[in-house]
Structure 1
Amino acid sequence: MPKDRELNVLDAVRAPIEAARGLPNSHYIDPATIAEENEAVLRRTWAGLAVGADVPEPSDCKPIEFLGQPLLLVRDKDGTLRVFENICRHRGMILVEEPRKIEGAIRCPYHSWCYSKDGRLVSTPHVGGPGQNSHPQMNRSDLGLIEVRSHVWRDVVFINLSGDAAPFEEVHADLLSRWSDVEKPLYHGGWDSWFTLDVQTNWKLAVENYCESYHLPWVHPGLNSYSRLEDHYHIESPGNYSGQGTYVYRQLEGQDGEKFPDFDGLPDFWDAGGEYVAVYPNVLLGVQRDHAFAIVLEPVSHMQTREHVHLYYAQPDTDAALRQKNATQWKTVFVEDIFVVEGMQKGRSAPGFDGGRFSPAMDGPTHLFHDWVAGKVAALRTERDA
């Protein structure tokens, strides 16, 4: 497609919602288009990689591949969480293959170069010849692990692979302000409070579906029976995040009426309210009076997404049976969405589909996400053509 035609298509996506079309099929099925989009919206922004609970204790580490890039999530001895490229600076060998606790240093299995948990190169055995562990031309201070810019918020580890995005606090100042009342300590529920869903869809369709409540009556009849479509409202912050909220959140109860403890000091709204936002590009957050969740969408391929779901509570010790009931309830809701996002992915192979249309009354949050993606891609194309 000619470049001017490509930009015109994106202009149609960015039009006012009454006239806009959705992203074209190529953004869901064409490897070249998706590679360009990945650069614009995943590498150059603050993308979600993992959660701090993946490395809960000092010296824990976890290797993660993101967009084909080998990364290493490490919590150092002081509890600071860092992200490094998971390669030795000597010959590019992968350092860590499986999640584990680092005893001592991070040691390369190839030539045994060793790195501290804060990334410093601390040992280079025989680098100057047998028995010579240094060499005048090998400056250890220049050969530490390559750190990836990261920021942790609500236990989500965000990364900026390009290294040149504006500070996280600046990019998401509006959301940080909106949720300042619920900026409370979060305690991961543990082994029974996370699960992973493998879904045959492009990651963007999971975001689009999460943004809106329009589908509740047909896809989530159980949820809609008490938190109805008409109880929901739109959350819209152009260029940053969008989603939905409800005025009717019903607390989960155990067999004897027990409930999770509330977060301290919440305004009255949260007595029965809940909010659910997609933090662009790939993090889905939910918050209620007594628990919260984070979903990090891993873009495995153009048509495969791994949804990493984690549940958090206001106190470190909560009732195990109630936690498991809560995880089961949320898993049921999220599984109900799978046929929808997989069906839309299959639909993107229909050449007659032109991106679809948006209901001005119901699809505002989803349109904002499309507009954001299109804007990022258009800016990248303009930059490259300059």
Structure 2
Amino acid sequence: MTTEPAGFVPIPSESVAFLGTRPIPAKPYYDPAWFELEREAVFRRSWLQIGHVCELPDVGSFVRRELEVLGASLLVVRGKDGTLRAFHNVCTHRGTQLVEEVQGKRATFSCPYHMWTFGGDGALLSAPDFDSFGLDKRDCALKQVALDVCAGMIFVNFAAQPQDLREWLGELADQMETLPVARATTFSEYSYDIAANWKLTYDNFQENYHLRFIHPRSGQSAFSAENPFGYPKEYAFHDPHRTQTIWTNPDPRPAPMLADAFARLVPRAMEQGLLTTPHHRTYFALFPSFFMLGTPLQNFVHVVYPVTATQSRGVIRLYWVGDDANASERFGREAIMGTARDVHCEDVAVIEAGQRGLSSGALEHIHFQTQEALCRHLFNMVEAAVVAYQAEQIA
């Protein structure tokens, strides 16, 4: 029996008992048929986070985003009226993709195949010999996808009649608006491909149960005499989303380089008013596969995008307020991003090992305990969405 140090109060199992204690079926973590159900029941009906307004500062700014799980290529554009819109990156003539660049700035978008040309609002402006089609240009506009913004972050939804984004986020919307990400003007980014199911990948970042085993060195700043395993302080559930309050070590003692990096960033953060509020360490987990750790200096955002039942793509960003003011600040930001990559690299191999084990079919079930309550909640929400979708199809 483990004896906890005085002052440490672990989250009681009773507080998450409503989630259930059943073993979780293993098949949804590798089965292609279940993945197809998730594609329609979860990802085609949920708000998906794909970027930030700071990427589209001017009229004509655009970014291209690939969402493999839906077979979609999106073109996000800031129109002449300043409005952000998302379109399928698909010419309405014969389906040719309009844009190959990841980002840029254009007044119009022309199909390379037959030169149908569209404006930033998606309207068809011109097409060679258009009269011979017997069509109305108004019926040939680019196909639009619902887009909305919260805390500076861009979300899209492929549903025919999606729920309002702020309604979907509930009280979390106002909480996120108070974080630096809402004021961000730039970011550092790291993307990766992983041979693992999206839920298995995402679950790794929802629990601290593994910290002392996988991150004994890099996770030292999360450990303390009061909380030797770096467990969270509390959970909260906002179906289908969830949050947790991350333990704030009163004496973190980070590695010298990381301590130096933070020291270089603090002066301007104080000038910007980012350190006048209490030290936030709230972890926001938005359904289905977004999470964010808000802190006064920057925001850590991680989105896991499904590709296949056993392949995923992750995008990690650190958002900053203001460009690098000098070389010292540049060093601080790069050092923090480098540290985040180092910690993440320690996770990849063990996640992929878990996928190989599950894909072998050796297990019928997996198991979650109190420290994995957020993992159980995610599975419950996914399963509920799939069951509801199946019922609709039968009806």
TM-score by length of 1: 0.84
> Match for residue 234 of structure 1?
234
Give, in angstroms, the shift of residue 381 of structure 1.
1.0
In 2 relative to 1, CA 289–256 (structure 1 residues): closer, same or farther, beyond 3 Å?
closer
Q: Distance in 1 between matches of 2:23 and 2:344?
A: 27
Aligned length: 361
> Match for residue 346 of structure 1?
356
Structure 1 residue 313 and structure 2 residue 320: aligned? yes
Q: Distance in 2 between matches of 1:215 and 1:243?
A: 18
> Match for residue 226 of structure 2?
none
Candidates 212, 219, 237, aligned match of 1:217: 212
- For the 8 Å contact 2:116–2:124, the answer to whether it is kept is yes
Give, in angstroms, the shift of residue 234 of structure 1.
3.5
In 2 relative to 1, CA 163–267 (structure 1 residues): closer, same or farther, beyond 3 Å?
farther
Candidates 377, 388, 395, aligned match of 1:379: 388
> Match for residue 339 of structure 2?
329
Matched residue type, 1:214 = Y
Give, in angstroms, the shift of residue 285 of structure 1.
0.9
- For the 8 Å contact 2:152–2:181, the answer to whether it is kept is no
- For the 8 Å contact 2:291–2:303, the answer to whether it is kept is yes
In 2 relative to 1, CA 242–211 (structure 1 residues): closer, same or farther, beyond 3 Å?
farther
Unaligned runs of 5+ in 1: 1-13, 130-134
Q: Distance in 2 between matches of 1:63 and 1:178?
A: 29
State the SS of the aligned residue for 2:87: strand
- For the 8 Å contact 1:52–1:155, the answer to whether it is kept is yes
Q: Distance in 1 between matches of 2:136 and 2:314?
A: 42
Matched residue type, 2:314 = E
In 2 relative to 1, CA 254–77 (structure 1 residues): closer, same or farther, beyond 3 Å?
farther
Matched residue type, 2:247 = Y
Which of 119-128 and 68-77 deviates more? 68-77
Alignment RMSD, CA only?
A: 2.7
Matched residue type, 1:232 = P
Counterparts of residues 71-90 of structure 1 (less than 5 Å): 71-90=74-93
State the SS of the aligned residue for 1:226: helix
> Match for residue 95 of structure 2?
92
> Match for residue 372 of structure 2?
363
Give, in angstroms, the shift of residue 290 of structure 1.
1.0
- For the 8 Å contact 2:151–2:173, the answer to whether it is kept is no
- For the 8 Å contact 2:150–2:173, the answer to whether it is kept is no
Q: Distance in 2 between matches of 1:27 and 1:52?
A: 34
- For the 8 Å contact 1:181–1:266, the answer to whether it is kept is no
> Match for residue 61 of structure 2?
60
Candidates 14, 20, 23, aligned match of 1:21: 23
Q: Percent identity?
A: 27
Give, in angstroms, the shift of residue 369 of structure 1.
0.6
- For the 8 Å contact 1:238–1:372, the answer to whether it is kept is no
- For the 8 Å contact 2:152–2:184, the answer to whether it is kept is no
Matched residue type, 1:50 = G
Counterparts of residues 148-297 of structure 1 (less than 5 Å): 148-182=145-179, 185-190=182-187, 193-228=188-223, 229-230=229-230, 232-248=232-248, 252-254=258-260, 257-260=263-266, 261-262=269-270, 264=273, 269-270=278-279, 273-297=280-304
Candidates 121, 127, 131, aligned match of 1:118: 121
Structure 1 residue 35 and structure 2 residue 4: aligned? no
State the SS of the aligned residue for 1:142: helix
In 2 relative to 1, CA 243–185 (structure 1 residues): closer, same or farther, beyond 3 Å?
closer
Q: Distance in 2 between matches of 1:162 and 1:35?
A: 16
Which of 47-56 and 196-205 deviates more? 47-56
- For the 8 Å contact 1:253–1:259, the answer to whether it is kept is no
- For the 8 Å contact 2:180–2:297, the answer to whether it is kept is no
Kindly report structure 1 stretches of 4+ aligned residues shifted beyond 6 Å. none
State the SS of the aligned residue for 1:375: helix
Q: Distance in 1 between matches of 2:192 and 2:124?
A: 37
